[in-house]
Amino acid sequence: MKKVLIIGAGIAGLSAGSYLQRNGYQVEIFEAHTQPGGVCTSWSRGNYTFDYCIHWLMGSKPNTGFDLLWDELGALEDANGKPMQIKNFEEFTRTEFSDGEELRFYANADRFGEELRRIAPDDLELVDRLIDDLKYMSRFKVSVAKEKGSIFSKIGSFLSNLGTFRCYLKHLRTPIGEYADKWKSKYVREALCNVIPPSWSLGSLTMGLAMQHTQAAGYPVGGSLQFSRNIERGFLESGGSIFYGSRVDRIVVKNDRACAIKLASGEEISGDYVISAADGHSTLFDLLEGRYVSPKLKKAYDTFPLFPSSVFIGIGVNKNLSDLPHAIMIPVTGSFTLPDDSNRSHLSVSVHNFDPTLAPSGKTTVTVILHTWNDTYWRSLAAGNRKEYSEVKQQTGERVVEVLEGRFPGLKEAVEVIDVSTPHTVHRYTGNWHGSFEGFAPTPTTLMTRLPKTVPGLANCYMIGQWTTAGGGIPSAAIDGRNIAFDLCRKDGRTFIGKIY
C-alpha cells in the first residue's frame, strides 16, 4: 500500500486525503493547528460562535455541479447522516450610502433588475444586459467528475455549456472598476467597488450572483467549522490519520524526489508521495528552500496581487436582531482608519440571524470584516509588544461597535462579547502568506493563468489548494483534492472511486 503524506488539514488537504484513502492509499495528514479547516473555521467566545468563512457555498443545491463533491465527501451531513439545513437568502447583500439611499442585491435576478432600474434609471441598457447575463450564467454546471463519461459525452457536455462559459469568460476578463465606470449611476459605481476591489474580475461578483438566482449557493446552517468537521469525520472513518499540532518544517528530497517530511519536533516521516495543501509561498520557499521555483511560479509570487487579510471583529449581542438584513455595507462618516493606516469607507457587516447554532436563543452573533493588505503592522506589533497588540485589538473592536451603534441604536448596550482577529492571527493559525484568506486575488490576469499542481523538477511532490488556483474558494480547494487523487490513481494503474456506498 502506497503512503501519502499531506501537509495541511484545510479543505484541499481533507478532500485529497478522503479520496486517496478510499482508493487504497495509506494517508497521513499533518496539521500545525489543533483543528481542521484552515481558514474554513469558526471559534467560540463564551456562548457565541464567530464564523470566519462561509457566506455562501456553491453546490448547495442538487444537480448543480459542485454538489457531487459535497455528496462524496459527506460535507453537508452531520455525524448521524442528517443533512445540514441550507439557508437561501432573499438578498445577496445590501449597500447603504451616506445620503440615506440603498441598493439591495436581490438573489432573484428579475427582482435585482427592478432594483437597478429604480436606482439607475439612466442605465437601463446596462441593467438589461447584466440581468440577462446573470440568468444565462446561472445555467452553468461545473463538470466535477473527470472519470465519468466517454470522450464524446464530455465533448457534448462542453458544447452544451459553451454559451454560458463564453458569457462567464467575458465577465472574467473585465476588471470590475472598468465595468463600474460604464454606469452613470453614482450609486451603482460606488456599490460595485465597495463589494469588490476595482482591479478584480467582474466574474468574481457575477458568478456568485448568478448562483443565487437558482438557489445553487446557499449557506449551510452550522457554519464553517461544522462543514470542515464533516469532511474530517469521513476521512477518519475511512481509516486515514490526522496529526494535529504537527508543524512541518521541511520536505525531504533525495535525487530530486520527495521522500519524506520533517516535523518541527525533529521527527522524520517517510512516504511515497508528498502533497502540500498548505500555504504556497512557505511550501516553495521554506519547506523546499526555494530550490524548485520555475519562472512561472516566481512571476506569480513576485507580481500577482493577493486576497487581503482582515481585521475580523466578532460581536456577541444580547438581542434578537432578526429584523436586520443578514449582510450589509454601511457607510462611515469620513472613513474608518485602522491602526495599520488602512482606510475603509464602509463596514462590511454580517448579522448571523440566519444561523441559530451561533448564539443562544434571543441573542445574535454579528461580525465585521475590515480588509487590509498591511499585515506587517500587526505581525510586528504582536512580536514587539503583546500588551499593546491586545490593547489595539480591543480599541479597534470598540470603535467598530461605536460605528454600529450609530446605525443600529441600542446595540452597544447589548454587547456582551467582542473578539478581534488580525492578520497576525490568520498567519499564526494557518501560515498563510501575508495573512491572505484565499491566495492570489481574482484579477483578469490571475484567473487566466494556470499554475502547476506538480512541483517543477521534483518528482512525487504536489501542491493543491488556494495558492494553485487563483480566485480560491472552498469548491476549488475541494476539487483540487479530488483531482489529485484521480491523477495518482491513474498514475498507479488504479480505478478511481469517487464515493463509497
| Contact (Cβ atoms closer than 8 angstroms) between residue 261 and residue 271 | yes
- Alpha-carbon Rg for the chain, nearest whole angstrom, is 23
**Distance (Å, whole) CA 335 – CA 320:** 29
Enumerate residues 6+ apart whose C-beta is below 8 A from 50: 42, 43, 44, 312, 314, 358, 365, 367, 419
Among candidates 229, 228, 266, which has minimal Cα distance to 247? 266
| Contact (Cβ atoms closer than 8 angstroms) between residue 312 and residue 347 | no
Amino acid in the structure at residue 403: V
Residue ranges in the chain modelled with pLDDT below 70:
148-162, 501
Question: For residue 479, what are the CA distances in angstroms to 52, 64, 268, 333, 469?
Answer: 21, 14, 29, 43, 10
Question: For residue 457, what are the CA distances in angstroms to 262, 295, 372, 462, 466?
Answer: 20, 12, 35, 11, 21
The confidence score (pLDDT) of residue 29 equals 98
The confidence score (pLDDT) of residue 161 equals 67
User: Counting beta carbons within 10 angstroms of the beta carbon of residue 145, is it exposed (0 to 12), middle (13 to 18) or buried (19 or more)?
Assistant: middle
In the chain, what are the domains? 3-43+61-79+222-305+438-491 (3.50.50.60), 105-214 (no CATH), 309-433 (3.90.660)
**Distance (Å, whole) CA 423 – CA 338:** 12
